[in-house]
């Protein structure tokens, strides 16, 4: 089983970007941990990050038929991108949405996710650990339904 890890805008700056909100783990730190967890689970992970909405959509199109599911932190696109949600539904890729911060305790515009209605589930506010929880939950769900 191959799981895609898709990261959106500004997540390349993790570790230095507002660490009081997003923590000090870098995207490389998070990826390294997910590789360890994937090995433990007997799966493989493929990661991509872009600050460009269209490239995130292109990545999902490329992953169609390659990955069995996706852990996604779409950053601010979570709150605005109907096109990204459409890409998930068009490719039939099951996914779990992750947010490092508790978006429901932040600004009103961050309290709604365009992706959530199509997601298997969401993990919010648990920092970098949320990625691991999302990966474990996604793999368990996919195995139950296979």
Of these residues, 99, 104, 112, 131, which one is catalytic?
99
What is the number of alpha carbons within 13 Å of residue 125 lying toward its C-beta? 7
Instruction: Give yes or no: 104 in active site.
Output: no
Exposure string of 67-76, with b = 16+ CB inside 10 Å and e = fewer, is bbbbbbbbbe
Of these residues, 20, 22, 79, 131, which one is catalytic?
22
Instruction: Give yes or no: 77 in active site.
Output: no
Angle, CA 66 vertex, CA 64 and CA 68 arms, to 5°: 85
- Residue 13 is encoded by which pair of tokens? 């700056």
| Whole-number Å distance between alpha carbons of 94 and 114 | 15
Catalytic residues, which ones? 22, 99
């Amino acid at each position: 089983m191959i799981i895609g890890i898709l990261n959106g805008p500004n997540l390349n700056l993790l570790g230095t970007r507002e660490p009081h909100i997003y923590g000090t783990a870098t995207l490389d730190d998070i990826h390294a941990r997910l590789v360890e967890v994937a090995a433990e689970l007997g799966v493989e992970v493929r990661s991509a990050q872009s600050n460009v909405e269209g490239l995130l959509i292109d990545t999902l199109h490329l992953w169609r038929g390659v990955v069995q599911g996706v852990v996604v932190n779409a950053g601010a696109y979570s709150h605005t991108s109907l096109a990204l949600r459409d890409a998930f539904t068009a490719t039939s890729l099951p996914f779990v949405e992750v947010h490092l911060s508790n978006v429901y305790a932040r600004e009103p515009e961050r309290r709604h996710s365009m992706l959530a209605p199509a997601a298997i589930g969401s993990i919010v506010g648990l920092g970098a650990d949320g990625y691991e929880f999302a990966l474990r939950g996604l793999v368990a769900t996919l195995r139950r339904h296979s």
